[in-house]
Structure 1
């Protein structure tokens, strides 16, 4: 008694693994035998073949430019804009003895703490996101300067990040949690 070919067909991932030679000999022989008698899987493999070729001819992506965030399309409930960043200072700063700046920005339940330290060749930005409702560990922080993405960092388990910058020009910072919520701080001057 012969089996109906379509009910015992391997999934597309298994065909892909077969094509790349990732299966052990026994599994590869099983797929090879199935392919010999199943025209549907032969067609499916032929359909997958353009996607399984080497990637030497793929187009390299150009550097992405982005205009200001209001032109971006984001769901409003997921996009939290920090509207005011407050400079926190110390007496050492007031006396000109300390060049580090500390700033705090709030958006809904998230509070973003930023600290800029003067370094050569440019400032170092350290930050942390504190939030009681959204988990920011593992979030992606994007730092933009002059309309271009300059740095990307994944927040650690303490929701902290840091960037070494080339210059002191204003930045925009977009932090996207794994849940999809984005906190945005735009056109921020680090060393005021």
Structure 2
């Protein structure tokens, strides 16, 4: 009788889930950090991540209050639940930080990302790229005889799915903005 060929660590959907139940689960969290809008603050926040070996998947920054001179940093990071709690605690102790919100834990949130894709191709590949762009609601923002530049907005998963479909059709370059996120609903019903 032949032995079963089961890969160690197969997915949780497998009938043969051989992953260690005591292993730490790596989670992805979206953090919104309100900080002073002054020179060096972003470097200090990033320094906290790099100095402790934490990974940043996505980072966006924009001023949200001109009169109060405040900016919002949206960071998508990964780690175990303990690491995520440590990141939030360390961010909260920094002097230029006013608020730290974990949008992944705080409740429903809306996440969007903007991306530009340059796709080169001719003939059937060109027609297929346009057809897929229409399905994904991507806009053509530039067109030449040999290529298109598509603009697409959506969740990071949607952006990644679009990229996977465009690769065999001649994907040449990708530029992504990073995740912008807000919690859903109103905090104050008045």
TM-score after normalising by structure 1 = 0.22
TM-score if structure 2 supplies the norm length?
Answer: 0.22
Q: Which has the larger radius of gyration?
A: 1
**Which structure has the higher relative contact order (CA within 8 Å, separation 6+)?**
2
Q: Which structure features the higher share of strand residues?
A: 2
